[in-house]
Structure 1
Amino acid sequence: MDARERLIESTRELLWERGYVGTSPKAIQARSGAGQGSMYHHFDGKPGLARAAIGRSAGEMRERADTAFAGPGPVSARVAAYLRRERDVLRGCPVGRLTQDPDVMADPELRAPVEETFAWLTGRLAALLEEGRAQGEFDAGLDAEATATALVAVLQGGYVLARAAGTAEPFGRAVDGALGLLSARTAAKESR
């Protein structure tokens, strides 16, 4: 990995662990093993490096979601695969945690990839749910947009509950609950 990549990866980790204010240029340099000259050669300082790191985290989140969404099986199985994929639950979502950082939220350039990623995720889930409804997997009354928003909220809230409890169990229960609610909207249950 070259110095630029080490700087981005180190910043991603530090933002996830410490937030924007706690991610100092010295900490980035120490973790990456890159010098100050290298940092300022590749980036316009901490804000530029943070933009690159947040963009990378957002892109990785989208890739992982798309992998699950493109998998085999019915829509419900693909949504379940996404919700149940392996995560470092107690560390929280690397993108979602940034919403709690006032410095990130106050800067339109730092906030943009966070906002865009959640809009993309909600839209992608809504399109999947709509696909399932069109194929008869879900009942006609399913509101794809509202359900997609609820699923994203369950994940992000699950992270918060797990971190507060110091265990991943609340996250797993939240996912199980969301999937239970979704399964109640299957077309097969409508005819019972």
Structure 2
Amino acid sequence: MTTAERLIESTRELLWERGYVGTSPKAILQRANAGQGSMYHHFTGKSDLALAAIKRTALSMRATAEASLSGDGGAYERVRAYLLRERDVLRGCPVGRLTMDPDVIADPALRQPVFETLDWLRGRIGDILAEGRERGEFDAGLDPEATAAAVVATVQGGYVLARAAETPAPFDTAVRGVLSLLAARRTD
């Protein structure tokens, strides 16, 4: 792995663990096992490096979500696969957690990949639900866009509840709840 790659990966981990403010250049360099000038050799500064790390995290999250959402089965099964996929619930969502970081939200460049990723997820799930409704898997009253927003909100809120309780149980309960609501709209 190149020094630039180590810096990006170290920053990704630190942002997930500590947030932007808690991710100092010194901590990044220590985690990456890189020399003092290497960050500024590859990036213009902490913000530039954080942006590269956030973009990488966003791409990774999209790929992981897409693997579940593009799997076998109908719309319900694919959304179910996304909701039930393996997660490190107590660590939270590496993208969603950035929404709670005031420095990320205050910086339009850092905020953009966070917004785009969550917006993509809502849109992708909404498209799947719309396809399912069109194929007759769900009743005509299902609102794909609103339901997709509820699915994403349930996952993100489930992370918060689980972290507060220090157990994945609230996340699991929230997921089961949204699945039961979605199952109630199925026509088969």
TM score, norm. by length of structure 2: 0.99
Distance 1:139 1:37 in 2: 60
Amino acid at match of 1:166: E
Amino acid at match of 2:17: E
Distance 2:35 2:51 in 1: 19
SS of residue in 2 equivalent to 1:137: coil
SS of residue in 1 equivalent to 2:103: helix
The aligned runs of 1:34-183 (5 Å cut-off) are 34-183=34-183
Equivalent pairs: percent with the same residue? 68
Task: Please name the residue that 2:6 is paired with.
Answer: 6
Amino acid at match of 1:81: A
Distance 1:166 1:105 in 2: 26
SS of residue in 1 equivalent to 2:37: helix
Cα deviations by residue, 1:137-175 (Å, 9 ceiling, x for unpaired): 000110000000000000000000000000001101110
Amino acid at match of 2:120: W
Following superposition, the deviation at residue 2 of structure 1 comes to: 1.0
Task: Please name the residue that 1:16 is paired with.
Answer: 16
Following superposition, the deviation at residue 131 of structure 1 comes to: 0.5
Give the root-mean-square deviation of aligned CA atoms: 0.6
Distance 1:169 1:21 in 2: 30
Distance 1:36 1:42 in 2: 12
SS of residue in 2 equivalent to 1:36: coil
Amino acid at match of 2:107: D
Distance 1:42 1:132 in 2: 46
Amino acid at match of 2:176: D
Distance 2:116 2:36 in 1: 31
Following superposition, the deviation at residue 74 of structure 1 comes to: 1.1
Following superposition, the deviation at residue 5 of structure 1 comes to: 0.7
Following superposition, the deviation at residue 36 of structure 1 comes to: 2.2
In structure 2, stretches of 5+ residues that fail to align are none
TM score, norm. by length of structure 1: 0.97
Distance 1:36 1:61 in 2: 30
Distance 1:166 1:66 in 2: 28
Following superposition, the deviation at residue 75 of structure 1 comes to: 1.0
Distance 2:105 2:20 in 1: 10
Amino acid at match of 1:110: L
User: Which stretches of structure 1, 4 residues or more, deviate above 6 A after TM superposition?
Assistant: none
Distance 2:61 2:141 in 1: 30
Distance 1:81 1:46 in 2: 37
Following superposition, the deviation at residue 187 of structure 1 comes to: 1.5
